Structures are given as structure tokens and as C-alpha cells.
Structure 1
Amino acid sequence: MSTGGAVVEPPELKKFTGMQRAAAMMLALGQQHGAPIWDQLTNEEIKELSAAIAQLGRVPTVVIEFLMVEFTSAVSSMSALHGSFESTERLLESLMPSDKVKEIMEDIRGPSGRTMWDKLSNVSEAVLAGYLKNEYPQTIAVILNKLRPDHAARVLSELPQELGIDVIMRMLRMETVQKDVLQHVEQTLKSEFMTNFSRTQRRDTHESMAELFNALDRTTEEAMLAALDEKAPESATRIRALMFTFEDLANLLPAAIQTLVRASNKRDLALALKGAPEETRKVFFKVMTERAAKLMRDDMSAMGPVRARDCEEAQGTLVRLAKTLADQGEIVLVDPKSDDAMIF
């Protein structure tokens, strides 16, 4: 290590950058000797140095001795130091307030150590897009911005085109996301999406896909099912059988349709019926009073031209309402012509 009092640079030191050398020195100094130095650093310098310590890994003793020649007698008994997120956090906690430590550590490894985003990157783009299409565009932009670019691109391509463009515009204008916003998004993903996703993994995949297809807009749904007909016709048939669509509502018992009409938002109902075939409209009008049916027709006429997408969204809202009513035991989602129909 030394010759005639002169310190010889160890060859191991060559692979350490200037920042890594500073990180190793600060890690070796610890709380007692390092505190005065930390106090002189700016927040940015602390973040940069902390990041270097967290990623440092194993530091050979000869390097420590060279960097800390004045403390050779104290460190010569060490075989090595090991820099990690945990050792960095412990060191910082001994030097500064906990809120400041939390801010620095989150900048280094993210609010949850990036584990949430790692997990999300392993979720199928179709499944993730099926969940995200019901979120606000700004929330989708935040999430896609945290994913790997290749995975984010595949998810984006699964979203409805208009929504996808909106998300892209928001990503282009996006600045630094506030930590509390990011934490809220992560917590929502953990509690709502990842929990439900782990449950659906144990179910029949066709059942899961049927629910996903139920959430798609009509054009995308038809296009995907048509493609599936060619590649996996048996799966396409099974998914269709499991899907519950707006047209299926017309096959319910009159009492169930009447309950659905009473529980629905009248504008949603008018929009849904405006985009429905005349035969389906007649089924709904039949369970209404004559006056209510006339008012509904008048409301539909007063709307004038409406976007097909708005009609499809309203129909989807009614399907979700029907499923909620069924879960509550208020209606039964069964075709009266089937063997499972209930007779009143």
C-alpha cells in the first residue's frame, strides 16, 4: 500500500469515477466525521452524492485506505464497505430531518422503489389499456410516462385513437410530476388495478377477455373479434358467449328492463337508444308508460345528430348499470328463452 511513507494508487481505483470516489469517502466517514461536510452541500449536491452512494456496491479496502489515508488505522480492519439504498437512507437519517431524507430517497429510487412500475411493465398491454381507457387522460399520460417506451407504445396503440391522441398531447406538455400526485397514482394502481389483476389471473382467461372486450368501443371490439375469428376461432366464439352487450339487455325479462329504465340516467338512456336498432328501442319503450315513452322519443329527436361514440359510451354505461343491479340482486341477467330463466 505504501513505500517509504508514500501512498501508491491501487489499480482498483481506476474504475471509480470522481463522484464514486467522493461517495465511497462519505460512506466511510459516516455520521460523526461526515456531518460537517453534508451541511455544506446544496440539495442538488446531496441528491447527486446520495445517488452515487446508493449505486456504489462493493468498495475494496485498498480503495478506502487510499481515499481516507488519514484514517488508515481506523479502516484497515474493514474487508469492504457496501453501498446500498438501505445504507444510504440510514446514513442520511443520522444527518438530516426525516422529511428531507424521504425527498432525497424518492428522487433516487421513486416513491415505491419503482417496484410498481416494474410490475406494471409485465402486464399485458391489452389488459392495461382496458383498465386505463376508463381513467382521465392526464392520469394515463403520467402512467405511460413512467413505463418503458416500448411497453408504453404498445399500450397506447390499444387505446381508442381519439383518447390516444389526447394522451400524447398531454405527455408532450408534461412537466415534472409532483410527488404527491405520483404517490396517489401509484397507490391507486396498487389498490385497484394490481389487486384485481392478481385475482383475474386465477380466473378463466376467456372470462377476463370478455370483460375487457365489454369495455372496448364498438369499432375496436368488432375489429378485434374479427381478427380473433381468423387466428383463434374457438376463443372468439367463447369470448362472444361470455360477453354481455347492450343488445343482450333487450333479451332480459320485462321486469328487469323496467328496473333498469327506472335506475338509469335519462340522458344516458336517450343516447343509448338513439344509437340502437329500432327493434331494441321498441323493447325499452314497451316497459315504459305511454307518456314516458313519448317524452323519451321527444328527447331523442331534440338531440339532433350525435356522435356514434357518445351513443356507444351511453350503452356501455347502461350495461355496467345492469351488472351492478344484478350484483345487488335487483335483476337477473338471463335471457328469458334460456333454460336458466326465472318464471314469475
Structure 2
Amino acid sequence: MSTVAALAEPPEVGKLSGLQRAAALMLALGEEHGAPIWGLLSIEEVKELSACIAQLGRVPAPAIEYLLRVFSSEVSSMTTLHGSYDSAERLLTAVLSPERVKEIMEDIRGPSGRTMWDKLSNVSEAALAGYLKNEYPQTIAVIMHKLRSDHAARVLGELPPELATDVVMRMLRMDTVQKDVIQQVEQTLRGEFMSNLARAQRRDPHEAIAEMFNALDRSTEERMLAALDERSPESAERIRALMFTFEDLGRLLPAAVQVIVRNANKRELALALKGAPEEMKQLFFGVMSQRAAKLMRDDMAAMGPVRARDCEEAQVNLVRLAKALGDSGEILLVDPKAEEAMIY
């Protein structure tokens, strides 16, 4: 019996759908060996397979070895393959024309929809308004004219009032828009806005997990990170570097801490500080007036014994508040990845 025939199906393969198995195989074959196969597929099959590659993630080596079979000796040296947008685009670029690659990757990356205007109507109104506010009012009017009315209304509400009024006036005076104008606007949107949006939507999974871990209670967070330390120490270290924790609040500028205090729920702030180190307490009390600091201390003392879990939950909520204020530009956050770097 040959080695290939005797090879049992690994458990990892049983978890893969038929499409996922095909995606893993094409990813393993790479550009040279996969090119003839890609050339025989229809455009819809290429899109479907490319989308699966882009979302495939980690494929264990035993599964790769099984799927490739005759190349098992070559593949067994690999630890993993990782399907991503970049790997899908790289494979397609080697076997398809740039126009077809652009069309396929736009469908994979961009918001769902058959036409540019369908896609645009699935973009959040805040993101779209943020882009449009830098355009000429006439251009905005053309775009608003092509959007779904409900979505156009929400985008209009996000624009500065004077600009929104100007856009409405131009829409009122607008005759039938020439086809070449629509095509030019569509080309600009596809080349600038949609491509930038697609790049912005490509996230490192470590960032998403770091955000998720930030929302966990302390004991669960520590347990998960300890488990990752055993199975993937590099990933655990990277996630720790990306996390913004309660301890990181102690490295904020006093002015930023003052804004947090001003925006925080006072009982929740007292609960968070009750379980904090003394240095953290002094930082927060230091940005308060003497009277406010005394009232906060009195509130903390009046609480009596509290559950550690309640303190940790309040601290997580305080971190969320700090990140929201940082995202809105109201405070500066110290980047936990670099002690001296400052980010908004």
C-alpha cells in the first residue's frame, strides 16, 4: 500500500467545507502550479474561491499534507499556511489581468452590492460624509442623487449644515446628469474612496482580539493570555502589546485624566479606583479639586467591602471611556506599544 493511500484524513480536514478544501489546496499550490487551474475557472468561480481564500485563516500542516498528498514530503515542513486578502490578490495577479484582479478584489473587500452605487449605499453615513465634505458641492449633489433616498438623508445629516444646504440647492437645480459625468464620479469613488475604505477594513486579527480581551474581566483575560502563551507565545506577546489596559491609564497626561474624570460616571469611577493601586488613585485625585477628591474618597469608604469582579468591570468601563475619548480626539492616549509615542 502506498504512503498516499495509507494516509488517514486528519480531524482538521473534516472541519473544512468542500470550498475551503479547494481554497487551501489552491493556496498551497501557489502561483506556478495553480495558474493552469485558475485559468480554467469562470469569473464567478474565481470570485467565490478568492473570497474563501481571503477568509481562510490558519490551515494546519496535517490538513495541507493530506490535501496535497503527492506533495506531502514538500509540504510537511510547513507549520501553517495563512489565507488572507494579500495572498488571494497575489495569486490572482499572477494568473489574471489587472482589470479582473481589481474587479474581484473589490467585490471581496468592499461593502456588498452589485454596482458602485449599491456598494456606496452600504457604507456608513459617517464614513461617506467624512469623505464627501472635502468634495465640491456639485460632485456631492451628483452622488447624493444616485444614492438610496434613506441613505442619502442620513449622509446629508452628517454633513456640515452650510454644505448640506448648498448640496440640496444644487440637487434642486440639477437637470439630467450626463452619463460621462456619472462615469467620472464613479471612477473617482472607486479609485480613491472605495479602495481606501477596503484597506481600512483589513485588520490584523491580533488587533480585534486585543480589543475583545480589553472587554474581558481580569481573571478571564489572564487565563486566556496564559493559554495563548503555551500555544502561541508570539501571538500572546503581540496581543499584550496592542491591548490598552487599566494600568495604561496611569501613563496618561494629567490633562487627559481630567477629561476622563469629567466624563465618567462618578460611582463607577469610585468603584474603579477602589480596586486601583495607590499611585493610580493619587493620579486621579490630583486632577480633581480638593473638595471633589474628598467626596470621592468618602464615596469609596462608604462602599465598604466590594467584590473584586465589580471593581474590574468598572475599570474595564473606564478604559472604554478613555479609548472613546481618544478616538474622538478629545484626549491624547499614550501608545502602550511605545512609551514615548503619542497617538490620538
**What's the TM-score bracket when you normalise by the shorter of the two chains?**
0.3 to 0.5
Provide the TM-score with structure 1 as the length reference: 0.40
Provide the TM-score with structure 2 as the length reference: 0.40
